[in-house]
Amino acid sequence: MGRGYIVEESVEKHLANLSTVAGSCLSGLLVGHSSAQRDFVVLAVQTPRRESEGPPEGQRGSNPLDDTDVEWVSMHARQVTRMLPGGVGVLGVFLITPPELAKEAQSTLKRLVLAVDKYMSKTRLWDLSEDDVTDRVTLHICSKTRKAVCKTFDVKDPKCSAKPADWKYQSGISSSWPVVTCSVKLDLDIPVTDMSSENLEKCLKDGLKRWAKQIESGVCLINGRLALDDSELLSGPKKSTRGSQRHTFQIQILVSAEEPEPGQRSSARVQACSGSVCVRGTVHCRAYIHSNKPKARHAAQAIKRDILNTVSSRVEMLLEDLMNEGGPASGQQDLPRRVFAPLPGSGLSVCDYVFPDETPTDVAERLKEILEWDSSVEDIDMRVEGRILLTLGCRKVTQHCSDSL
């Protein structure tokens, strides 16, 4: 029988509009939400052109599928994931090829799907749990007939063969998805053994992993109540999915320091350090869950993962930036702030991260480049996070240009 994929109608239109140069191939990502019974696809994003690309693929003598840049697709997947709120992720890959390459396309799709998953799990602060769906979808579209073939691969089992899957179009899938939000205060002090760049990064990662464990095992309150894991989030009669309001749930997270291992040490663990890194401030987190009888634990998991993702993404971005400028300097650096923009047709928000010197226009450019989406600058909500900026020594309060309060 296989898994079922419910796909937003706008995705069908988008895929239909993707045209290829004769004989060439086109890859992209499928984005959506995964649940135990079925998956929902809300977005299809074409892989952007890599700047260092040689002549367009169709003109090469060899098989264009072999040229598929698996690494580039994976990197794109990471960038796309950074722009997604919790609960929404890269569910798989699509490939548009000429009819003669249809058969080979399957093995390329498998390679892509496994590589993307591997790449993304490298930098994640959390691990997949037992009830996570590990099937990823692959969609092959023939450029001539526009016929689509949908299969899944289990990324937990690289030797597996493709399983058939159901691909169905529907409209307004995500319009009634409940959204969970919270603002998390960060107060981390991470010791650094020596200040070389790679060691700093490693210590930071270890420190974040420790913090991540606290968040993951934290108690989660939904709208001020402690709910049992399997209790239903949406009580009451099921309203029709069309035109109904999106439920918002406020989350609170309560943590405890980790229990010491058995065989407890009787003295403090002391490390010689040459410095430390502090991460402070408040981050805004948001996640979506499906509307078909969602349980409290789905909401808790989705928001917790978003909390971990948003912090690790920002730290990664800052470090990448600093490495380009010759390594991290002492003193305070602003971490990028999170901004949100609505995804048309789905009512979901996507996000981006801005450094202090960036503007809404920069955001719009990135949204276009990575998500293929023309947003208007007014739609971008820059005010979600931290209006108060603290700098060393003096206190600076800034308000945004679009001061339409």
* Six token digits for residue 391: 């700098």
CB of 69 or CB of 381, closer to another protein:
381
* Six token digits for residue 37: 């019974």
CB of 111 or CB of 383, closer to another protein:
383
CB of 128 or CB of 278, closer to another protein:
278
Q: How far apart are CA 23 and CA 98, in angstroms?
A: 6
CB of 159 or CB of 396, closer to another protein:
396
Q: How far apart are CA 83 and CA 77, in angstroms?
A: 10
CB of 30 or CB of 285, closer to another protein:
285
The least CB distance from residue 66 to another protein, in Å, is 42
Q: How far apart are CA 373 and CA 323, in angstroms?
A: 30
Q: How far apart are CA 270 and CA 334, in angstroms?
A: 30
The least CB distance from residue 174 to another protein, in Å, is 25
The least CB distance from residue 216 to another protein, in Å, is 12
- Residues near another protein (CB under 8 A) are 182-186, 189, 191, 195, 200, 215, 218-219, 221, 224-226, 251-260, 264-283, 311, 314-315, 318, 328-335, 337, 385-390
Identify the CA nearest to 138 among candidates 170, 175, 97: 97
* Six token digits for residue 5: 């994929």
Identity (one letter) of the amino acid at 387? Answer: R
Identify the CA nearest to 79 among candidates 384, 381, 353: 353
CB of 128 or CB of 255, closer to another protein:
255
The least CB distance from residue 62 to another protein, in Å, is 46
The least CB distance from residue 182 to another protein, in Å, is 5
The least CB distance from residue 392 to another protein, in Å, is 9
Per the document, the length of the chain is 405
Identify the CA nearest to 25 among candidates 86, 85, 81, 66: 66
The secondary structure of 140-207 as a DSSP string is EEETTT--EEEEEEETT-TTPPPEE-EEEEESSSSTT--EEEEEEEEEEEEEES--SHHHHHHHHHHH
The least CB distance from residue 323 to another protein, in Å, is 13
CB of 173 or CB of 283, closer to another protein:
283
